[in-house]
């Protein structure tokens, strides 16, 4: 069952996909089953809202250090993602969605590199899928609202300036890339980044454990390498967590921009 089971000896615990589906312990059998992943997801949601609420609850004109930090983070999303892609007017309209996506993904991702949590609930496909579907609906809705249904479909599937016969080729490609590839790529990119990152870290630390405890002696030297590798990948995965949140929000803004603009 394990991806890497082939490499495992007796003492080597190879990371497997089962780790992402721990047994449920609450509401078992109902649609509200809770396992460790769901618990992490709920906890990260609460922490996210709590942190921003504490930062903005008593927001002052002259900010405290913590308030400044929160404002800086929000301003980054607003200026670099919302205004950068959509301009001021549309940027303000879609800022709540973009902020919710960016910080939601960031906080759910970052549990991956927090000791004792060690895994991201975004490795379960549910969250990336829900977010991608919301983006999908908003993208199409914004396009229809901005241009009208017919004009929107035409602008997406029949790009202007292409010779008529070429539509035979272009339109199916545009359809797949716009209405299928976009949500699928959003979902899978995020999910697999989280999944593989976790496997990578587990592999490094499991190997370290293996080399230190089970092999010992000279082979312990390899353990030092895998341990350093694990620490390096921990920093790397922290960066990936932020990067994936940024990419998801940025692509959302880009898709909305492509929908609302006339000339595709």
Partner 1 sequence: MTSMTPLAAGEQHILIPAVYDIVWSAVCFLIILIAFWKLLLPKFRKVLDDRAEAIQGGIEKAEKIQAEADTALAEYQKQLADGRAEAARLRAEAQEEGAQIIAEMKQQATEESERIIAAAKVQIEAERQAAMVSLRSDVGGLATDLASRIVGESLTDDTRSASVVDRFIADLEASAPASAGAASKEV
Binding residues (CB under 8 A) for partner 1: these are: 1, 3, 16-18, 20-21, 24, 27, 30-35, 37-38, 41-42, 44-45, 48-49, 52-53, 56-57, 59-61, 63, 67, 70-71, 74, 95-97, 99-100, 103-104, 108, 124-127, 129-131, 134, 191, 195
16 C-beta neighbours (distance < 10 Å), count: 15
Beta bridge partners of 34: 26
Name residue, tokens 């940027």. 91
Q: By C-beta, is 57 or 164 nearer to partner 1?
A: 57
Q: Report the distance separating Cα 169 and Cα 145, nearest Å.
A: 28
Q: Quick one: CA dihedral 152, 157, 160, 164, positive or negative? A: negative
Residue among 157, 141, 147 nearest 252 (CA): 141
Q: By C-beta, is 3 or 239 nearer to partner 1?
A: 3
3 state DSSP class of 216: coil
The per-type count for the chain, helices as H runs and strands as E runs, is 8, 0
Q: By C-beta, is 134 or 227 nearer to partner 1?
A: 134
Q: By C-beta, is 22 or 87 nearer to partner 1?
A: 22
Q: By C-beta, is 131 or 211 nearer to partner 1?
A: 131
Q: How far is the CB of 103 from partner 1 (least distance, A)?
A: 7
Q: How far is the CB of 171 from partner 1 (least distance, A)?
A: 28
Q: How far is the CB of 76 from partner 1 (least distance, A)?
A: 12
């Amino acid at each position: 069952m394990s991806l890497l089971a082939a490499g495992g000896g007796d003492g080597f615990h190879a990371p497997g996909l089962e780790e992402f589906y721990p047994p449920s312990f609450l509401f078992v059998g109902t649609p509200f089953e809770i396992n460790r992943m769901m618990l992490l997801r709920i906890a990260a949601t609460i922490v996210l809202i709590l942190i921003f609420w504490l930062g903005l609850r008593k927001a002052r004109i002259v900010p405290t250090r913590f308030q400044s930090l929160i404002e800086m983070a929000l301003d980054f999303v607003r200026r670099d993602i919302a205004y950068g892609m959509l301009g001021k007017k549309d940027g303000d309209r879609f800022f709540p969605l973009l902020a919710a996506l960016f910080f939601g993904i960031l906080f759910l991702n970052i549990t991956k590199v927090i000791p004792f949590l060690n895994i991201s609930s975004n490795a379960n496909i549910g969250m990336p899928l829900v977010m991608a579907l919301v983006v999908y609906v908003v993208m199409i809705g914004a396009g229809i609202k901005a241009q009208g249904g017919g004009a929107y479909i035409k602008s997406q599937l029949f790009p202007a300036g292409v010779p008529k016969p070429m539509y035979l080729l272009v339109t199916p490609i545009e359809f797949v890339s716009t209405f299928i590839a976009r949500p699928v790529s959003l979902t899978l990119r995020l999910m697999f980044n989280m999944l593989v990152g976790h496997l990578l870290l587990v592999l490094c630390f499991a190997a370290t454990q293996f080399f230190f405890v089970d092999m010992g002696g000279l082979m312990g030297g390899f353990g030092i390498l895998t341990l350093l590798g694990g620490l390096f990948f921990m920093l790397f995965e922290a960066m990936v967590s932020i990067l994936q949140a940024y990419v998801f929000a940025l692509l959302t803004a880009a898709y909305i921009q492509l929908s609302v603009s006339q000339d595709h």
